[in-house]
Structures are given as structure tokens and as C-alpha cells.
Chains A and B, each alone.
Chain A
Amino acid sequence: MTVTLRAPRNRVSRRAIGYWTLRALGGWLVLGAIQLVWLMSAGPTGLRLLALVATAVLGTVHLIVMPRWRYRVHLWEATPEAVYTQSGWLNQERRIAPVSRIQTVDSERGPLEQLFGLANVTVTTASAAGPLKIDGLDHATAQRLVDDLTTNTQATPGDAT
């Protein structure tokens, strides 16, 4: 008999794909702009043009592949006993924390996230290594998750260390 760890049940919002794309686009644009300025000021040579083209190709591939891959990986689940998340794309990580050990539940909405109607939820335990972050949740879902977790956490006594 083999035992496997199934993935968490819930997907994040589909709008997260757009959010991740836009967030990554910023970095690539900065890199491209630096190369463009360099190209203009120092004159175009074969190597510099090649570098710019390579950046454009890599950036495009990253922007197309990463958000969709990430969307398939990012999953979460909260039961009355535990919170379980999966995140990443190339490197993937699953984190499990018992509700009885939860110390804080934070919900945050950055400007980009507000644009897409998203929010992220961070669940921290007494360990500095164990925060569970759920990225790209629908705002209403995030609100409900925070409420659920807060209620469950209050029900368990102890100082959670």
C-alpha cells in the first residue's frame, strides 16, 4: 500500500493569472529599459542586440508560462484542524500547520491586488519558518477564510509554542 499526500482542494482566483503577469512584467520592463538605454548610449553591436532579443524572448516565455503554471500549483485548504497550502511553480512547497498552533491571521491588499479584486492571507505560527501565505485569493474568499480561521483559533487554548 502506498500513501500519498493529496493536493489541497481549493484553487485561487483565476484573476490571479493577470495579477502575477502584471507583477512580473514590471521587473522585465525595468531590465529591458536598462538594456535599451545602454544600446542607445553605447551604440548597437551584435552582442548587445542579442542580449536585448534574449531578454525579450525570455521575458515573454516567463510571462506566458509562469502565471499559468503558478495557477495550477497554488492551492489551499482550511479544515477546522489544519491549514494546508501549496505554492510555487518550478520549486513547489506544501505547508501544513495545525489550527491549534496559529498565532496570527493577516489579510493584505496591495494596490496591484486591489486592481484585480484580490487579497492575500498570511497565517503565522510561533515559528519564524512557518508562515503560510495564500496569494491571489478572491477578496470575498479571503475575508471568509480570515473569519473562519479567527473563530477556529479562538476555540483552542494554550500559547501555541
Chain B
Amino acid sequence: MTGPQPWVGEAAGTVDGVDPSWRRLSPRMLLVHPVQELPRALVPLLGIFVAGTTSGHDWWAVVSLAGVVVAAMLRWFTTTYRITPDYVQVRQGLLRRRELSVPRDRVRTVDVTAHAIHRLVGLARVEVGTGRSDRSDEGVRLDGLSAAEASRLREELLHRRARPATETAAGTATETAAGTAAETAPAPAEAVPVAADVEVELVRLRPGWVRYGPFTLSGFVTVGVIAAFLSRLVNEAHLDPTRYGPLRAVAGHLTHAPVGLAVAEVLAACVAVVALASTFGYVLAFWGFRMTRHSAGTLHVTRGLLTARATTIEERRLRGVEISQPLLLRVAGGARCIAIATGLRVGRGAERGGSLLLPPAPRAEAERVAGEVLRSREPATAPLVPHGPRARQRRYTRTLGTAALIVGVLLAGRWLADWPDWAWQVGLVTLPVAWLLAEDRARALGHALVGGRLVTRQGSLVRRRWMLDTDGIIGWNLNRSFFQRRAGLSTLTATTAAGHQRYEVLDVDLAEALHLADEATPGLLTPFLERHA
């Protein structure tokens, strides 16, 4: 870490050593802002340029371009921020002044992102999240600070915090002399300054893991978007792509090849392109992935090839870990880890917002990382209690029932509405697929209570193993449908303030569900339980 320890505080005017004066963003943003703003203003600028040249006023374009650049640079002059002992405050705007204050004890995440332009001039963007769940939460965004200043700010906001006395023992291995200074510094009643921060590396991406890239299917979306864009372009421009160069040869080859072969070739080409794009996406998003644990009680994740992202998760907000295996990745023997933390929404897409703890990697590695994060290897590796034949039966009834319904509808369409015969014949394919799906889903089911964690697993297309801290469970839902009651089963849902908010133990025997819930949260169910001899 560069820069001084913030809480040592020679320059500080306040009690706890935080510099409370208003600060500016890095002056290098004067270069970045115009580059960022220009693409947004590109369309109107082009319009003005065209209008200007046709009417003979060439200077219009120059003036408006200069206007955009000046407006972008003004953002630097109008934005100031400060960190007081209680608040993070940002003032911005020229005509519409806005002041945003976030209480420091509400700060839950600090993300440091550096896009390619930022990295070119050594800057980074800092986003301070308060973990509000509604979409309107923009939080405090400082775009941008020098990379050193950004990481120092992260330290300031996250590491100088209240923490249990037991964890301060980690501070004995001091890296700098800051420890002694911190101990003598007067501290507010809640915050216990610890000696210098010790960083332990938990995992680092190995280049060989890129082999899991093709199995993430993240390229599917990218390729789809590009294909849609191209086809629209071709349509709008009234081009016939089959008339040009190599495409013409390909089209000629396909029209003359047998139908089966042509379809197979096109499919193979699609698979190759998607695999390539996925691998590319994997490298782009996860290159240089590294997760470390700071002795101050945070997990720190950095990753990204062109855009460098750094996410910090407070361990006191961590309620568990999810090991998730999409079907393809599972077939390839891979898995990824996702944090279950309060104030951290489970994002979409390959990066899972800021909650990703391990990109697709070997399964053993995922288990090891989950064990490291939970400080106990057992929840990730312990064998699970299977849910038995009745739960298996329900998996078959449900998937086969759905498949039978599809075939039934197609057959009815054949009789009533003259649908072609091949429709229901193709529909028959769903039956063996449903059979396999049911078997796989049945095998996934399992639960256990190990090392103070509720462990539960389910799913086939995406198999997830959730390891939830029992302290994080804030209630139980016991769901029993009509058919579940007949089978003596129930779905037990642990509710929590973290991650997905609900973690299910699917189709578990009722007595076992009660036993599990009673053991996970001792005392909560006791007044409502009846024991029969």
C-alpha cells in the first residue's frame, strides 16, 4: 500500500486523524472528462457539423466541440469531496449544486474501478455503496482519483472501523511503525484502531483456468448482440452479404452441401465462435484475479484486463458462500464462488456484480477458496444428507409431467388444428431429456449442518451449494404444497438479509426439516415443538 496510514494523522485536524478539508479530484481528470463526454455528445456534434458545413458556417462545429470540452472540464472544477469523522460528502454541479452525504458507518462496499482511459493516466473511480436495495441508490461516486489516493480512501473508509477485540490479535505482525502510533492515538469509543494491516493472499488466477472460459457461455450474449447488430445493418443498407468475397464462397458451399452436413457445419461454426468469445470475455473480466484477506476484517478482490476492478467486502457483512456450477461448467469439472453478504446485491452476468469470490476454476479450487473465506473447510466438502426416494419421485413427476404436457398439447394440436406430425414427434425428445434432468436434480438434493453453517444443495442446469452462516438466519418458512403434504415432505426456507434473501432446503422430510431448523437456530422453534414418546 502506498501513502501514509490515514489514522496516523500528522496532517489531520480532528480527533481521529481523518483529514476533514474539502478535496478535489485528480487534476488529470481534466484529460479524462473530455474523452468520456465526447462519445455521449457525438450525435449532436455530428448534426451540428453537417448543418454547419451545408450552410457554410464551418466554425459551428469547432465552437460546439470546444463547448463540450469546456463543459466536461468544468466537472473537475465543480466537484469537491471530503471525509469527516462521520460523513463522506460530495459536492458537485455548476447550475444545480448537489451535496451528497453518506454516514460513514453505513458504508458497506467500496469499489475501485479503472477503465482503460483511467489506467492510461494512472487514475481510478471510487464508488461508495451503502447497500440500499432499491435501484435509485447511486451512492457516492468519485471519478476519479489517483490510483494511490483511491486505495488510500478505501482503507480510510473500510479499515478504520469498529471490530471485535478478538480480531485485533492479528495486528501483532506489524508491517510498519504505524501500529504504535495508532495505539496511542485517541480513538472514538466505537472504533478500535488496529496495528498495520496484514494482507494474506487467498487465491490468484492461474493462466490455465482460461480453459473454463468456453464453458461459461458468457460469449453467447455478446455474439448474439453482434449478430443482431450486423443483420440489422445488412437489412438497413439493403446489402446481400452472399454476394461478397469469402461469404459468397461460404454461401455457395452451404447451398450445395447436403442439408444435414450444412446444418452441422453452421452449428459447429456457431459453437466455435461462442466458445472463442466466451474465452475472450473470461480473460477480459478475470485476468489478474486476486483475492486477499486484510487483517482489518475485509476481503479484497481485484480483477480485469483492460478495466481493473477492485471490490472490498467486509467480513462482518459476510453471511456465507455459494459454490455455483452451471451445467456446462460442471461437465468440464469447474465451479465458481459467490459471496453471500448483506448490502451486496447478487448481480447478474458473469461477474455477479461485486459478489464474485472466484471466477470459473477447478472445483477443488472452489472448495478450497470457500473454505478459506468461511475459515472452515468442512461446509464446502462435507457429504450431504440426501433427500430420499420421495423427493426423487417428485423430481421425476414434475419434469416428466411437464414433458408429457408438452407432448399432449402438440398431439391435441395435431387432432384439433391439423398441426404437422413432426411437431409432436420432435416433442417426444423432451421425455428422455426430462428423465435425465429429473435424475440429475434428484442427485443434487442434499443438506447438512456443519461448522455452524447450513449447507444445502439443489439444481441441475445450475447446481448451487449454499453455505449459510446460522447466525445470519433471521427466520424460517416451512412450505408444504398439497402434494408435498401427501408425500410427507416440506420445503424449508431459511430467510436472511444477505444475498438471495432466501435459501431453500428443497423437498426434505418434515421431521428432518424440523430437526435441521431447531439445530440451526437453537431455541427459536422450541416453544412450538411437541415431543411425542
Residues in A lying within 8 Å of B, measured CB to CB: 1-6, 8, 77, 79, 81-82, 84, 90-98, 101, 125-130, 132, 160-161
Contact = CB atoms under 8 A, between A and B. Distances in A.
Contacts of A93: 477-480
B502 interface: yes
A88 to B, nearest CB: 8
B477 A130 contact: yes
B475 A98 contact: yes
B511 A127 contact: no
B514 A94 contact: no
Interface of B: 133, 342, 472, 474-482, 485, 493, 495-498, 500-502, 511, 514-515, 518, 521, 523-525, 527-533
A134 to B, nearest CB: 15
Given A94-B478, A97-B475, A127-B474, A81 B497 contact: no
A117 to B, nearest CB: 29
A161 B500 CA distance: 14
B174 to A, nearest CB: 32
A5 B475 contact: no
Contacts of B532: 1-4
B529 A91 contact: no
B531 A3 contact: yes
10 contacts: A3-B532, A81-B523, A81-B524, A82-B524, A91-B480, A94-B476, A129-B496, A129-B500, A129-B501, A160-B497
> Which of A5, A90, A125: most chain B Cβ within 10 A?
A5
Contacts of A94: 476-478, 480
Contacts of B496: 127, 129
A104 B481 CA distance: 28
Given A127-B502, A129-B501, A160 B525 contact: no
Contacts of B481: 90-92
B525 A95 contact: no
Given A90-B482, A96-B476, A5 B493 contact: no
A70 to B, nearest CB: 14
Contacts of A96: 475-476, 478, 524-525, 528
A101 B501 CA distance: 14
Given A91-B480, A127-B502, 16 more contacts: A1-B531, A2-B531, A3-B531, A81-B523, A90-B481, A92-B480, A97-B475, A98-B524, A125-B495, A127-B474, A127-B475, A127-B497, A128-B501, A128-B502, A129-B477, A129-B502
A6 B478 contact: no
A6 B528 contact: yes
Contact of A161 (B479, B497, B529): B497
B52 to A, nearest CB: 54
The 4 closest A-B pairs by CB, nearest first: A129-B502, A130-B495, A126-B497, A97-B475
A160 B435 CA distance: 44
> Which of A79, A90, A132, A161: most chain B Cβ within 10 A?
A161
A5 B525 contact: yes
A4 B477 contact: no
Contacts of B485: 92
B528 A95 contact: no
B474 A91 contact: no
A2 B528 CA distance: 14
B439 to A, nearest CB: 26
Contact of B514 (A4, A91, A92, A98): A4
A148 B199 CA distance: 48
A129 B531 CA distance: 29
Contact of A84 (B514, B518, B528): B528
Contacts of B514: 3-5
B329 to A, nearest CB: 27
A90 B482 CA distance: 5
Given A6-B529, A95-B478, A97-B475, A127 B495 contact: yes
A128 B493 CA distance: 12
A1 B477 contact: no
Contacts of B479: 91-93
A106 B495 CA distance: 19
Given A1-B531, A4-B514, A96-B475, A129 B525 contact: no
A1 B529 contact: no
A125 to B, nearest CB: 5
